[in-house]
């Protein structure tokens, strides 16, 4: 992921996108290989072992994100997550090469959608399943209404 600039110039739409991909990462987990013997939280991980990084769990960690189940784009006003705490498109040399294009496409889609349509959730406040990643139990059934 490209480096996030924290400034007053941050667009509100960028915060909405970051919060959306935090809550609903496109890949809930990624595999990595330990490049050296490592100890993590009292567990020994030998060099060469495969490690599953559960991105959904990282993005929902209350020690990193206060009220993690809440959709709150304003959290990005002052939040500077530590390395590895926000990686919806991967990180380092394994960052998705299309991440910037994906974010641009999301911006363009939202621009036209929000100007021309209204979305009514049919079951507001419905249950959410959090395994393997947060998803509305009813698949977020909604009615799309074209604005005049």
Domains annotated on the chain, with CATH: 12-146 (1.10.630.10)
Q: Are 128 and 137 in contact (CB under 8 A)?
A: yes
Distances (CA, A) of 47 to 14, 36, 124: 38, 4, 47
pLDDT at 1: 44
- What residues are paired with 136 via a beta bridge? 128
Question: pLDDT at residue 6 above 70?
Answer: no
Half-sphere exposure of 29 (CA within 13 A, CB side): 11
Mean pLDDT of the 24-34 span: 82
pLDDT at 8: 44
- Spatial neighbors of 38 by CB under 8 A, at least 6 apart, are 44, 45, 47
pLDDT at 40: 87
Residues 74-103 pLDDT 10s: 999 988 888 888 988 888 788 889 999 999
- Spatial neighbors of 108 by CB under 8 A, at least 6 apart, are none
What does residue 108 show for φ and ψ, rounded to 5 degrees?
A: -65, -45
pLDDT at 2: 47
pLDDT at 96: 87
């Amino acid at each position: 992921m490209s480096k996030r600039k924290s400034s007053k110039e941050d667009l509100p739409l960028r915060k909405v996108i970051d919060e959306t991909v935090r809550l609903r990462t496109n890949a809930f987990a990624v595999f990595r290989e330990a490049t050296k013997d490592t100890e993590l939280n009292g567990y020994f991980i030998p060099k060469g072992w495969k490690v599953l990084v559960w991105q959904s769990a990282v993005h929902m960690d209350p020690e990193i994100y206060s009220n993690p189940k809440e959709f709150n784009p304003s959290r990005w006003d002052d939040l500077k997550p530590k390395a590895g705490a926000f990686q919806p498109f991967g990180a380092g040399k394994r960052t998705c090469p299309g991440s910037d294009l994906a974010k641009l496409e999301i911006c363009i889609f939202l621009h036209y959608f929000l100007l021309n349509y209204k979305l009514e959730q049919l079951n507001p406040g419905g249950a959410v399943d959090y395994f393997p990643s947060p998803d509305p139990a009813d698949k977020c059934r909604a009615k799309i209404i074209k604005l005049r």
